[in-house]
Amino acid sequence: MKKIMKKNKRISIQIGSVVTLLFFVTISLITIVVYWGTKDLFLSTRNENMTYDLQKFKDLHMNEEITGIVTDYWKKNPDVITEYSEDPLYLEFVKDFKKVDSLLSSITPQMIEASSGEEQKALFKAIYTSVGSYFDEEREDQGFSCIICLDLSDDNYGKVLLCSDKHSEQTGEYAFGTVSDVYLPILESALNSENADENGGIIFSEVELETEYDGFEHLYLGWIIRDIPGSGKYAVGVEYDWSGFADDLEKSFWRMTLVGLIVVVVVNILLVIFIYFNVAAPLRKVNDGVREYMEKKDSDAALLSMAAVRSRNEVGRLADSFSEMSREIERYTEENLRLGNERERIAAELNLAANIQADQLPSKFPAFPDRDEFDIFASMTPAKEVGGDFYDFFMIDGDHLGLVIADVSGKGVPAALFMMISKMMIKNFAMSGFSPSEVLEKTNESIYANNKEKLFVTVWFGILEISSGKITAANAGHEYPAVRRPNGRFELLKDKHGYMIGLRKNKHYTEYELELKKGATLFIYTDGVPEATDKDEELYGTDRMLEALNKEPDAAPEKLLENVHIAVNEFVGDAPQFDDLTMLALTIK
């Protein structure tokens, strides 16, 4: 009997070991495929972004003769180009040179020859500033960590002409006129690589560097070479720092491997136990027959018992039952596994959607550290993983600040997607120079044309003229703003409401003006504030909101939002909330 039991244990262990090995190999292969697939997809996306931007740099419309004159002056006068200047003529040139693609084409040799030394100095410095600003804008828009232009001419080989870097402001190894010890070796290695000509003149390289800013960096770069007759040979490179992504990917890889091993061990233990008891049962029938024969010495009875086993009556029924039970367990396990994977996938997607949504909203404060005319702060607390509320603020130009707060109907992922589309449209139309009412009208027409799900969004949009404190605004069915005059208290401004955006075509919106003098504050919010509900289903209301604001009416915007948030939380207590809580405050300093 003991020998039989030991044999059963060995069989169970052997089967369990094979299953363990298969599970481990399968999980490892899946993890590796996901790891490399994710990395390749990421780098492919970077290739597309870099190719687009590098092609833009290559296709800039530039007069080659003027380009040669300008760059030659830059090389000969590095101190003039990089020195700080408040020369009115230079500032006027900077203001005029807004369009880089037509900048150099608008200047003629005759214009340069007819200019005095001081005029040329201001002109060439302004050109450098304008092109540098263009590099900065492209870097920030595309999410690059650096854009750099290196001179490859024989007499100036490897020196930096222009650089936009998130860590540097034209200093150190990135300074104008210095040889780049970091980027030049990377460029030369890329030029000598096997794939140097595979992308239509654009060269990609992946490098790992030890830097003084972020320690170990994992960088992905793209280069394009431009040879301008009479001007020289230059290389423009864009850099994407994917250190964080690479670290997260590696951590996910090991996390998946560890979880897979734990699952394998647990499943194997359960499987060995299951096999042991189900294989041992028929063998006990054999043992019973042998025992009966030894006790009774009745061969007939023993034979009958053994015959029953050999005829597979008992074993057959047991096998049939076991087979059916196994199928049921397998179906149940697969269904549970499918549901578990589905829940994990949904949770991961919601978490990713929440991160993406949060990244779309301004979250760095102070938002404009170089502007001391105003102070601004905003926050959004979604009721679910992702919400439909959003806020935004952005500089339209040097004297105009766009302000947006909006509430999309519905909640969850559909509302979040609708929110991102609405936010981009409003900002794009605002940056195109349209007035608040025109921005809302054009946004309404664009959304209505493709709004099959009949979602809608309420919007308050205003443009602050910073120099005068005057706000021009329009309201598309949104909550009334609250305004505090200097040394006064917050009061609701009952402005004229237009129709909600997205449900009707050809809707018009009325503009109004609001003057905020020094010390005045504007507070805008979504309906999640006044419609917050306590356990008795009583609404928080605008009166309580004004009371919270007027607790410290002259407080900074961040403190004002904190006071309202605390007051709302104290009011609702443990009652569940079904709407997002979004607020924005602006104070004229």
Q: Which of 148-157, 409-418, 464-473 has the highest mean pLDDT?
A: 464-473
User: How far is 231 from 244, CA to CA, in rounded Å?
Assistant: 39
The pLDDT value given to residue 423: 92
pLDDT at 290: 57
Average pLDDT over residues 477-504: 94
Query: What is the predicted pLDDT for the residue at 323?
Result: 37
Question: For residue range 506-546, what is the model confidence (pLDDT) as tens digits?
Answer: 999 999 999 999 999 999 999 999 999 998 889 999 999 99
pLDDT in tens, 310-351: 445 444 443 444 334 444 544 665 677 776 677 677 556 656
Closest CA to 435 of 400, 391, 398, 390: 400
Between 142 and 63, where is the model more confident? 142
pLDDT at position 244 is 67
Average confidence (pLDDT) over 199-204: 69
pLDDT in tens, 400-443: 999 999 998 877 777 778 888 899 999 999 999 999 999 999 99
Average pLDDT, the chain: 78
Q: How far apart are CA 136 and CA 138, in angstroms?
A: 6
The whole-number pLDDT of residue 3 equals 47
What pLDDT does 498 receive? Answer: 93
Domain boundaries, the chain: 1-59+242-311, 312-359, 361-588
Copy the structure tokens of residue 325. 């039970």
- pTM as predicted: 0.45
**Given this model, what pLDDT does residue 122 score?**
84
106 or 234, greater pLDDT: 234
pLDDT the model gives residue 318: 39
State pLDDT tens for residues 28-72: 676 676 666 676 676 677 777 777 777 777 666 556 677 777 887
Binned at pLDDT 50, 70 and 90, residue 15 comes out as: low
More confident residue, 153 or 244: 153
Omega within 30 of 0 (cis) for the link into 553: no
The per-residue pLDDT for 126 is 82
What's the CATH number for 361-588?
3.60.40.10
Q: What is the mean pLDDT of residues 210-238?
A: 75
Structure-token pair, residue 464? 């602050």
Q: Is the pLDDT of residue 268 over 70?
A: no
Task: Report the alpha-carbon distance of residue 150 to residue 522 in Å, rounded.
Answer: 47
* pLDDT recorded at residue 388: 75
- Angstrom distance (rounded) from CA 44 to CA 513: 48
**Does the pLDDT value for residue 301 go beyond 60?**
no
- Which whole-number Å values give the CA distances from 294 to 289, 291, 297, 305, in the listed order? 9, 5, 5, 13
Lowest mean pLDDT among 451-455, 463-467, 469-473, 545-549: 451-455
| Conformation bin of residue 506: beta by default, left when phi > 0, alpha when psi is -120 to 50 | left
Q: What angle do CA 517, 521, 525 make, to 5 degrees?
A: 145
**Residue 380 forms beta bridges with which residues?**
582
* Residue 408 identity: V
Helix (H, G, I), strand (E, B) or coil at 86: coil
Higher-confidence residue of 294 and 364: namely: 364
Q: Is 191 helix (H, G, I), strand (E, B) or coil?
A: helix
Residues of the chain with pLDDT > 90, as a percent, come to: 29
Banded model confidence at residue 24, pLDDT cuts 50, 70, 90: low
Q: Is the pLDDT of residue 7 over 60?
A: no
216 DSSP β-pair partners? 210
